[in-house]
Amino acid sequence: MPSQPMQDLINAFRDRQKASASQVPPTLEERRAAFAPGGRLHPVPDDVLVREVTAGGVPAHWLAAPGADAGRVLLFLHGGGYGLGSLRSDGELAVRLGRASGMRVLFPEYRLAPEHPFPAAIDDVLAAWRWLRTDQDLSARSIAVAGDSAGGGLAVALLVATRDAGEALPAAAALMSPTVDLTSSGASMTERADQDPISTPAMLRQFASDYLAGADPKTPLASPLFASLSGLPPLLVQVGTADLLLSDSERLATAAAQAGGDVILEIGEGLPHVYQIMLGTPEATEATEQIGKFLRARVH
């Protein structure tokens, strides 16, 4: 069962979901300005050094908490359905994971749909990854990737693309409610529709349509669930049962394990989409600790 702080957030999400059903849909600009996946925006803590950088042509931020190991880097990919999200919405979560793992964080601001449809986002992620490897001269074994929601899907796509290119892969990947199937074919898309306080099937299908812009939804780098998942690094996948994308995580973990991968799947009973971002809840604290422990053990 969710803790009381988490349940309070879930109730607030449900109230917001009900209210929005009777309101005029906001514009894309309004949605981006109001995007607060954790219920409200949490600023990057004052003790974190934030530095703007261009990573392979992609606007990005270096985020370094006190004591972060400059030689170990976490490439963090934000969520938001490929159309929303930025350092403003996800920076606190990225910093928290960097702090827990003792790593510097690179936060790329990849291009967003619908202005920049597939493959713009994964192209930017790959550019940032290769910039870390070449311009920053970092070993692949000293880099991990983490992502929430759409960012989790981009993280898996990054692993698939680097493997297919014959390049060295990141040491590990931490995935929070990853979006890995843009066909919306997972059983939870219908079975969890009345339990998810954040997303609706129509919302997720619209995000997918805006991102794909006519591309085949089974394209492996758009929906990496349909890619070969052999040869990937260790994966930690976290998801809640009150999430329309529960099946994405379950099927991803099963397929990666069947392909011989090292996979840990953690399912939070009654927890919503990307519960890790919900600062101030015991569930977010525990998930952060688990991710930090996972990364510290695998990134050298």
Of residues 61, 123, 124, 149, which has the active-site annotation?
149
- Catalytic-residue membership of 194: no
Instruction: For residues 19 and 10, give the distance between their C-alpha atoms in angstroms, rounded to a whole number.
Output: 14
CB contact at 8 A, 146 and 233: no
- Catalytic-residue membership of 243: yes
Cis? peptide before 114, omega within 30° of 0: yes
Contacts of 259 (CB under 8 A, 6+ apart): 228, 229, 230, 231, 232
CB contact at 8 A, 294 and 174: yes
- Token pair 């908490």 in the structure block, residue: 65
Instruction: For residues 250 and 291, give the distance between their C-alpha atoms in angstroms, rounded to a whole number.
Output: 18
CB contact at 8 A, 56 and 130: yes
C-alpha 267: how far from chain center? 16
Concatenating the DSSP letter of every residue in 164-220 gives HTTPPPPS-EEEES----TT---THHHHTTTT-SS--HHHHHHHHHHHHTTS-TT-T
> 198-219: string of b/e by CB count within 10 Å (b at 16+)?
bbeeeebeebbebbbeeeebeb
- Backbone angles phi and psi of 234, in degrees to 5: -55, 140
Query: Is residue 234 classed as helix, strand or coil in its secondary structure?
Result: coil
Which residue, among 261, 269, 262, has the nearest Cα to 239 in the 3D structure? 269
Of residues 243, 247, 248, 249, which has the active-site annotation?
243
- Catalytic-residue membership of 177: no
Which residue, among 136, 170, 150, 142, has the nearest Cα to 35 in the 3D structure? 150
- Residues acting as catalytic residues: 149, 243, 273
